[in-house]
Structures are given as structure tokens and as C-alpha cells.
Amino acid sequence: MLGSLHDRVEADGHTVEYFTAEQLPPRLGGRLARFTFPWLLWRHTVAAAKAGRPYDVVNVHESSGAILALGRHAAGNPFLVITSHGVEDRGWAVTREDARLGRSPLSLKARIWHPLTILTQARVGLRQADHVFCLNEEDRVFLRRKYRFPEDRVTRLFPAADPAYLDAFPSRDYTPADRLLVFGTWLPRKGAADIVAAFGTLAARRPELKLVMMGAGFPPEVVLGSFPEQLRERVEYVGPGTEAELAEQMLRCAVYLIPSLFEGTPQTLMETMATGMPAVGTATCGMKDVIRDGANGFLIPLRDPMALATATERLLANRELRERLGRQAHEDVAANYTWDHAAEPLRAVYRRLAGTRIRTP
């Protein structure tokens, strides 16, 4: 997402450089990256300052900004922008609640280690940031209340859809209703357990129904192993592809399921909606910002597989409803969720920060 947004920043004549976890030496990656990446990022910015080309703005993920925040004087005092893809404090609260409900176990090690590492770094970085980007309105409100940020210090960003998904829309046929789509990493916080339960209910009613799984982030055997054995042959696993290839796969599907417990705003939501597919999502985070209940999709309560099955069945059973919501979904993305539109809030913040930067000889 940020890469696409920063392409527009470069088009304005600015230079954008990237320092990512993929650049870490193998011995410093993996689980060590939560410690080594922030340290090496700080060293990278210090080296740039010593070479006479200090950065005006450094944009870093929420969980990696603490060391740079505390040591930025040596890095030439760049403006520090923190980007949250889902505020860590809020995500941790959801994880703990899932554990309390017995839905997803949480080890004692995780209960101790996560607050000491990820949460501590995130909180330090947020408190020291000159500006914070977040990906949904709930996060924006939370950050303003918790950290008492003024209105102009927190900006909500949103992802967009590649034109390939919008271009696919004219080929959509709303008659078939035999495939559901799940597009996203197969994780507990993405509602994996609720998808399995809801699909089991729907599959019992509709013998022809299949579930298409895209972008799972895990091997097929891991994903298929989450389903009862009798359902596995009705789950289609789709591997990586180009944007046009993924859009073509989406045209085969009637409804997008996204019952996440916690997100920023998923880019997959914009992409599927762009192809004219209505979504059924939980009424939280970015889903609540994008899905207009009964207009371009349906919103359901958290942790409610029966509500997921019921809303999905409404769409499968009613072609006219499916088409009306799907067409509106496409129109909403075309009007509001293109990359040029999505980049404007980020560009405005960068212009304001860089415009106040004073260099001393």
C-alpha cells in the first residue's frame, strides 16, 4: 500500500528511499527482526545524516519507531511519521479477548513477551511521533483519545484498488451463485474460524457451493486442514498471480467474506468491490468505514458465524440484491478508492512537514 502511495510522492519530484526487513542479513531476520530492524533503521538514518544527506521525513511502522524516536538527533532530526496498519494496543486487546473466549489460545510466553517488545516500542514511537497515519476511523479516534493528539496530528489513510480490478467489472455475470471468496492471510484475527463454521452451514444447504481461497499466506495443506475433511474438496486454493489474473478469479465468485476481528482497512476489500462483488464483513475497523450495510454489502457482528452465513445466504439467494449491491460497490471504489485519491492525504502531510524543515549550513 505505502509503495503505491509513495509513487505519487515521487511524481511530485521528491526522492523516496526504502529500508525494509528484506534488507536484513539472514542472521538478523526472522524473530530477531523486531529488535534488529529498528536498530538497523536508526543506523541507516544516522549514516545518511553523516554523509550530508539527512532525511526530511522518516515514515516507519508503528512497532519499529521507538529507537529512531529516541535517537533522532544523531540522525539529523528528521520528522518522524508513524504508520499504523492497525493500532497495536487495540489488536492486542482483541487477541486477549479471543483467548478469554477460548477461540484462540495465547501462551504465557506471548502474554509476557508481546507487551514487552511490540507494545512498548509502539507506544514510545507513537508518543514521540510528529505525525501518525492510521487506516481506519476507529484507530484515529482511539489515538486521539489515548495520546491526546490534536486533530491535525493524526491522519486516516486508506488503500485503493489497482485499475485491473475496475477494468474487470464489465465482464461480471451476476447469475452464478456457486462460489464464495476469501482473500487474505489465513489467521485467527482474520476470522478464519468463523469462515470455516459459516461455510459448513452454507455447504450443507447448497451442494454446489465452493469456497475460493486467495492470498492465504500459508501452504494449501495448512488452510485445507482447518476445514472438516468432508468439506476440503469444496475449497479451491488459488496461488499468486498478476492483478489481472486475480481479478479474473474474482469474477467467478459471488460474495466476498471478510469477518475479521481486527484490521487496518484491507486492500482486498477495495479490490473485490471494484470487480462488482458485494462483501459481508464485520462491523469494525476499516470494514465499517467502507461497507455501507445494505447498500454495497452487509455488516455483521464480530465472532458470529451464523450471522455471516445468514447474510451470505441472502446474497446467494437473491440475484437482484447481489447485483444491486455489487454495482454500488464498484461505483464506490471507482469514485473514492483510486490511488491518486488515496495518496492525497499523505502528500498533504509530507508537504506540510517538509515545508517547515529548516536546514542549517
Q: Are 205 and 280 in contact (CB under 8 A)?
A: no
Which DSSP category does 361 fall into? Answer: -
Percentage of the chain exceeding pLDDT 70: 98
**CATH code of the domain occupying 2-159+340-355:** 3.40.50
Whole-number average pLDDT of the chain:
92
Residue that the C-alpha cell 507487551 belongs to: 115
SS3 content of the chain, % helix, strand, coil (to 5): 55, 10, 30
**CATH code of the domain occupying 163-337:** 3.40.50.2000
- List the grid coordinates of 273: 468491490
Instruction: Provide the residue ranges of all domains of the chain, joining segments of one domain with +.
Output: 2-159+340-355, 163-337
Q: Are 311 and 256 in contact (CB under 8 A)?
A: no
273 against 104, higher pLDDT: 273
What confidence tens digit (pLDDT) does each residue in 208-263 have?
999 999 998 899 999 999 999 999 999 999 988 999 999 999 999 999 999 999 99
User: How far apart (Å, rounded) are the C-alpha atoms in residues 205 and 207?
Assistant: 6
**pLDDT reported for residue 2:** 79
**pLDDT reported for residue 357:** 58
Q: Are 302 and 121 in contact (CB under 8 A)?
A: no
* pTM score: 0.91
- Continuous H helices in the chain: 2-11, 33-50, 66-70, 88-100, 108-114, 120-128, 137-147, 163-168, 192-205, 220-224, 243-250, 267-274, 285-290, 305-317, 319-336, 339-355
User: How far apart (Å, rounded) are the C-alpha atoms in residues 228 and 215?
Assistant: 21
- Do 2-159+340-355 and 163-337 fold alike per CATH? yes
What confidence tens digit (pLDDT) does each residue in 58-74 have?
999 998 999 999 999 99
- List the grid coordinates of 82: 508513524
Q: Are 62 and 70 in contact (CB under 8 A)?
A: no
